[in-house]
Amino acid sequence: MNISFKQLRLWRSLADTGSVGAAAAATHVTQPTASMQLKEITQAVGLPLYEVISRRVHLTQAGEALAQTARAISAEWESFEQHISALKGHQTGRLRLSMVSTAKYFVPRLVGSFCALYPDVEVSLEVLNRDGVVARLRDNMDDLYIMSMPPPDLSLQDQVFRPNPLVVIAAKSNPLRHSAALSLSSLKAEKFILREKGSGTRMAVDRHFKKSRFVPTVRMALGSNEAIKEAVAGGLGLSVISSHALGAKPQSQGLAVLNVRGFPLHSQWHLVCPKAKRLSPVALAFQAHLMQDASI
C-alpha cells in the first residue's frame, strides 16, 4: 500500500473538516489536486473511504480507520520534531488542547503563563460542551483534554489538578439569600435552571440530587453558564453552577450564593488523555506546568 506522508496529512484534514475544499486549503494544495490525491488514496487502500452527501464528506469504516492511523502517525512525527528541537535547546511545536466550556474561566490564563515560558509553542484550543470534548477524546484528536467528568468507559491517563466547587445561586433579590442553612427539601417549591443533559455540571448535580432523594422542578435547561446566570438574575429560578463560572463578585451580576446543606458540591478538574498515548515533549511540559500551578 503506497500512501505518502503528505497524502496522510490531507486525509487527516479531510476527516477533521468534512470538506475537500477545507482539507485542500489546510494542506496548501488546490482543490483539484486534493481530489486527485484522495482518489489515489482510495485506490491504494482498495476500499471505499468516503462518500459525499449534501456536500458533506462522510467517512466509511475504512476511512475512519485510516483517519485514526493518520492522526497517530502525525502525532508521532510532531513528537519527534519537538524532541529534536529540545535537544537543540529550543522548545517548539504545537499543543492541541480541548476543554469543556466552564474551564474557559481559568484555563486561558494558564495557557498564557505557559506561552510566556515557551513563546515558540503554538497552541490550538478547542472549547466545547462535554459531549464534544469526549468525542474528540475518543478520536484522539488532541494532546490533552480538560473536563470535570471524564468518561468512565475509556482507559485514560487521568490527573486531578484543581477543585471545581458547585454552588447554588439565586437572584440577589431572592429572600432565600438571608437563610443561614437551607435544606434541599426546603427548595422543593423553587424552579431550577440547570445545564443541559450530558454536561459535567449537570451529571454531578443529578447524581447529588438522586443521592439526596430530591426531585427538582426544572424550568429549563441551558447550554451556557452565561445564559443561566442571566436567567437566574432575572428571577426565573435557582441554579447550580461552578464557582469558576460565577466569579469573585456575584452581587455585581445580580446573583447571590445560597447557603444550602451539602453545598458547595465537590467536583474536580481532570487533565486526561488516552492511557496508551505517548505525550509529546510540549504536551508533557504543559502537563507539568498545570500540575505545578495546582500545587501553588
- Which CATH number goes with the domain that contains 170? 3.40.190.10
Query: For the chain, what is the domain count?
Result: 3
Residue 43 falls inside a structural domain: yes
Residue 82 falls inside a structural domain: no
Residue 129 falls inside a structural domain: yes
CATH number for position 43: 1.10.10.10
For the segment 252-256, the average pLDDT, to the nearest whole number, is 94
Q: Alpha-carbon distance 243 to 163, whole Å?
A: 10
Residue 201 falls inside a structural domain: yes
Q: Residues 158, 187: one domain? A: no
pLDDT at 183 over 80: yes
Q: Residues 247, 276: one domain? A: no
Q: Alpha-carbon distance 200 to 288, whole Å?
A: 24
Q: Residues 174, 206: one domain? A: yes
Residue 10 pLDDT class (50, 70, 90 cuts): very high
CB neighbour list of residue 106: distance below 8 Å, 6 or more residues apart: 162, 244
For the segment 10-37, the average pLDDT, to the nearest whole number, is 91
Q: Residues 172, 231: one domain? A: yes
Please report the pLDDT score of residue 89 as a whole number: 64
Q: Residues 122, 212: one domain? A: no
Q: Residues 239, 175: one domain? A: yes
Please report the pLDDT score of residue 181 as a whole number: 86
Q: Residues 277, 160: one domain? A: yes
Q: Residues 172, 262: one domain? A: yes
Residue pair 287/167 in contact (Cβ under 8 Å)? The answer is no
Please report the pLDDT score of residue 269 as a whole number: 96
Q: Residues 251, 294: one domain? A: no
Domain that holds residue 35: 1-73
Q: Alpha-carbon distance 92 to 85, whole Å?
A: 6
Q: What is the pTM of this model?
A: 0.76
Q: Residues 200, 157: one domain? A: no
Q: Residues 119, 204: one domain? A: no
User: Is the model more confident about 296 or about 39?
Assistant: 39
What are the b/e assignments for 210-246, b being 16+ CB within 10 Å?
eeeeeebeeeeebeebeebbbbbbeebbbbbbbbbbb
Least confident range of 33-37, 150-154, 196-200, 244-248 = 244-248
Residue 276 falls inside a structural domain: yes
